[in-house]
Amino acid sequence: MDAVLDVPLSKLLAAGKLFVGQKLRIWGAGLCGWLGPVSPLEVSRTVSLLLHMNGTYRAHWADRLGFCKVVGSPLAFRCIKSNAGLVPQTIVGVTRIYPVLYKERLSNGGSIVRSERMECRMVQVYDQR
């Protein structure tokens, strides 16, 4: 099956770091030009696999071909490329949770920002009217 590469993968191909016969681990690939379910062995030349940089990694030479049963390691933020497709997995640490704020737009074009407690009070005042 033919593959369509995004710009960063095309640069790797041109530089010789990506070549025919290399084993790749691929997540989040898409199909282009297919009309319905079809076997990969019976696919026409119009169908191609869409690959992107953030979901394509080199596999170990001894890895078996086929579907992976193990989830791959998460991508570090320094390895994520912009405009290079979806990121299959990463690790995020939450350092602070901010309170919910409510923004009300006024008829004169201005706005008022309220905390959750103040918004509950304003809803109660509104319901009493």
- Give DSSP secondary structure letters for 49-95: EEE-GGGEEEPPTTPPSS--SSPPPPBPGGGPPTTS-----B-----
Domains, the chain = 2-72 (2.40.50.140)
pLDDT at residue number 41: 78
Average pLDDT over residues 76-104: 87
Average pLDDT over residues 89-101: 90
pTM for this model (two decimals) = 0.63
Which one-letter amino acid corresponds to residue 119?
Answer: E
- Chain segment 34-43, per-residue pLDDT in tens: 877 777 777 7
Q: For residue 119, report the phi and psi dihedrals to the nearest 5 degrees.
A: -65, -40
Cα–Cα distance, 62 to 57 (Å, whole number): 15
Cα–Cα distance, 8 to 16 (Å, whole number): 13
